[in-house]
Amino acid sequence: MISMRGVEKYYVPEEPALAEVNVEIEAGEFVFLVGHSGSGKSTFIRLLQRELLPTGGQIIVAGQDIVRLKNWKVPYLRRNIGCVFQDFKLLPNKTSYENVAFALEVIGRSKHVIRTQVPEVLRLVGLEDKMESYPDELSGGEQQRVSIARAFVNRPPILLADEPTGNLDPATSLGIMSLFNRINKTGTTVLVATHDREMVDSMRKRVIALESGHIIRDQHRGVYGYGD
Partner 1 sequence: MAINIGYFLRESAVNFRRNWVMSLGAVITIYLSLLLVGVSMMMGVIVSEIVQSVEDKVSIQIFLKDGAATEDVKALQAWLLADELVDTVNYVSKEEALERFKEEMAGSPEIVENIRENPLPASLDVTLVDPRTVEDMVVKIKANETFLKICDRPDEPEESLKYGQQIVNRLFAFTRIVRIIGVVFVAMLAVVSLIFINNTIRLAIYSRRKEIGIMRLVGASNWFIRAPFFLEGIMQSLIGAGLAILTIVAIQAAVLPRLQEAVLFLPVDLAAGTMVQLSLVLVVAGVIIGLVGAGFALRRYLKV
Interface pick for partner 1 out of 25, 33, 103, 138 (rule CB under 8 A) = 103
150 binds partner 1 (CB under 8 A): yes
Q: How many residues bind partner 1 (CB under 8 A)?
A: 24
x-or-dash pattern for partner 1, window 70-99, by CB under 8 A?
A: -xx--xxxxxxx-x-----x-x--------
- 3-state secondary structure at position 120: helix
| Cβ neighbours, 10 Å, residue 43 | 23
Interface pick for partner 1 out of 110, 181, 202, 219 (rule CB under 8 A) = 110
Give me the sign of the Cα torsion angle 107, 111, 117, 120: positive
Cα(130)–Cα(217) distance, rounded to whole angstroms? 41
Interface pick for partner 1 out of 105, 201, 211, 218 (rule CB under 8 A) = 105
* 140-152 and 96-105 helices, crossing angle to 10°: 20
63 binds partner 1 (CB under 8 A): no
Shortest gap between Cβ of 217 and partner 1 (angstroms)? 30
CA 173 to chain centre: 15
Cα(64)–Cα(17) distance, rounded to whole angstroms? 23
Shortest gap between Cβ of 106 and partner 1 (angstroms)? 4
- Would you tell me which residues interact with partner 1 (CB under 8 A)? 49, 71-72, 75-81, 83, 89, 91, 102-103, 105-108, 110-111, 150-151, 154
